[in-house]
Amino acid sequence: MTGINRRQFSLLLAGALTAPNLLAQPPVAGPADDKSWLLASAASDSRQQHWLIVSDTQGALRLRHRLLARAHHVAAHPSQPWVAVVAKRPGAFIDVLDYRSQALVQRIEPAPGRLFYGHALFSRDGRWLIATESTVPDGAGRISLRDAQNGFQPVTEFSSGGTGPHELLLNHAGDEIIVANGGIRTQGRLKLNLDSMQPSLAYLKLATGEISEQRMLPPEQHQLSIRHLDLSPDGAVVMAMQYEGDPLDTQPLVALHRRGQELQALSAPEAINRQMTQYCGSVRIDSSGKIAAISAPRGGLITFWDIDQAAYLSSLEVRDGCGLAATATPGEFIASSGNGRVYWLYPREGVREPLMQDMRLDRLAWDNHLCAFQAV
C-alpha cells in the first residue's frame, strides 16, 4: 500500500469502529472520493455469517456483501471499482463486487473437478483475473486466467509447478507470476501426503505458463509448506511458511529468495520461534522495502525481519493477529485479528496502538488478509 498515511487510516478505522452496529448500517451509496483509500477484508460474525467488508477513508461502510462461506483473500482491480474475494481453500467461489454500486459483478465458480485455493489477483492492466486452483482427482496445482472484460470467462490455464498452490504475486514488470506451492495434497481439509510433500517457489511466465525458475527447500525441510509471499522493490521474495512435521521440532518459518539463488531460511531466536507454533499466517513488506512483517496468529505474534540483513528484528504480541498491510510510512504496518481488533504496529519503537475501541464490533472476526488500495 502506498500513498495512505496514518491519519487517513485513523479516520477510516476510527469512523468505522465507532458506528453503532457496523453490519446493521446501510452502506453509503455513490462513488468514493477519487483520492480516498479503501480497506477490504473478509470477516465472520458471531452467528457464523461470512462477509466482505469495504470501508472508505471517512469511516463510512462502502460495501457489505454476504458470502456463501468463509473467504480468505481480497484483490482490488487496478482501474475498475471492483474487488474480488476468494473462498477459503479449498473453495468453490470468487465473488467480484462493485464497491461503488454495491452490485455483484460476477460470481465465479471453478470448472468441474477444480477448486479455488484461496488467492487471486488482477493483472496490471486489469484484463485478467489470475487464481490458484487445484484439480480434485490428483491435487495438481493450476493457475487459471479469466477474462475480466468478458464475464470472467476462463481463457487459459497452466501448471503451478507443484501441489497446493496458495498465494501468488506478479513481478514488477507484470509479466511473471510468482507462486507459493505449499506441497500438500488435500481432500477437503484432510492432508494426504505429509511424508512426501514437496513445497516450492515457482516463477511462471504469464503469457505461456513456462517455468523460468523454481526453487525447493532442502530435503530435511520438505515439510515446511510455503504459503504466503511478498515482493520487495529490489526483487526479494519473503516467504511465510507452516511446518507440518513433528510438533516438537524447531524449524525456521521464514525464508527469502532472490533470483538465481537458493532459498535462504531465516531463523528467529529459539523462544520466539517456538512461540510462533510452526505456523505463519501472512507477510507484508513495508514501504521502504527493508522490513517484512510476518504474522504468527496461533502464537499471538507479529514478527519483523530485516530483508537486507536477512535477519530477525523483533516482535509484537497481537492475539490471533494475522491480516497485515503496510502504510506509506516506512517501518509501519497495520494488523487485524480474529478477535475483532485492529492495530497500528511500530516495530522500530516496539509499540502497537489499538484502533478498535468500540466493543460492539468485537464479534466481527477479521479473516487472514487485509487489502488496502486506492479507490478508482
Residue 95 backbone dihedrals phi, psi, to 5 degrees:
-100, 130
> What length does the chain have?
376
For the chain, the structural domain boundaries read 33-375
- Grid cell for residue 148: 475480466
Q: For domain 33-375, which CATH number applies: 3.90.1150.10, 2.130.10.10, 3.30.1310.10, 3.90.1300.10?
A: 2.130.10.10
Specify the amino acid at residue 261. Answer: Q
Task: Find cell 512483517 and name the residue.
Answer: 293
3-state SS, one letter per residue, for 109-161: CCCCCEEEEEEEEECCCCCEEEEEEEECCCCEEEEEEEECCCCCEEEEEEEEE
pLDDT in tens, 6-43: 545 454 444 443 344 445 555 554 444 545 778 899 99
pLDDT in tens, 150-178: 999 999 999 999 999 999 999 999 999 99
If you ran DSSP here, which 8-state letter would residue 275 be given? H
Q: Is 276 helix (H, G, I), strand (E, B) or coil?
A: coil
Percent of the chain scored above 70 by pLDDT?
A: 87
pLDDT in tens, 263-312: 999 999 999 999 999 999 999 999 999 999 999 999 999 999 999 999 99
- Grid cell for residue 32: 468514493
Specify the amino acid at residue 167. Answer: E
Q: For 194-345, where are the alpha helices, taking DSSP H only?
A: 270-275
> For the chain, what is the mean pLDDT?
89
The structure's pTM equals 0.91
